[in-house]
Amino acid sequence: MLKSLAVTTALLSAAACNNVTYTNPGTTPSGVVTAQTGHFFIGGLVGHTDVWANRMCPHGVAGVHTKFSFVDEVLTLITVFIYAPRTYLVECAQ
């Protein structure tokens, strides 16, 4: 029973791993990265997050990366998919 639960949990968490990256080819990255967390519920089905990258970066946006990080996965599993955070990383341009 415990083995099947561990396998099911691993498969569910692996299925939820995805990343989205946007890179602006017309800019040079400055190395300044700002992180923001989006809060979602019921496995990510409920919730909405606006990431205002242009407000974070006065000289333009070099890239945006969204991910379901390891910490996000752990929090999702601990809460049995009731709470499912998501991490957004915004890299500013020079």
Instruction: Give the model confidence (pLDDT) of 7-44 as tens digits.
Output: 666 655 555 567 889 999 999 999 999 999 999 999 88
- Contact (CB, 8 A) for 82 and 42: yes
Provide the whole-model pTM.
Answer: 0.75
Percent of the chain whose predicted confidence (pLDDT) is above 70: 84
* Separation CA 77–CA 29 (nearest Å): 34
Q: In the chain, what is the greatest distance between 2 CA atoms, to the nearest angstrom?
A: 55
- Contact (CB, 8 A) for 88 and 51: yes
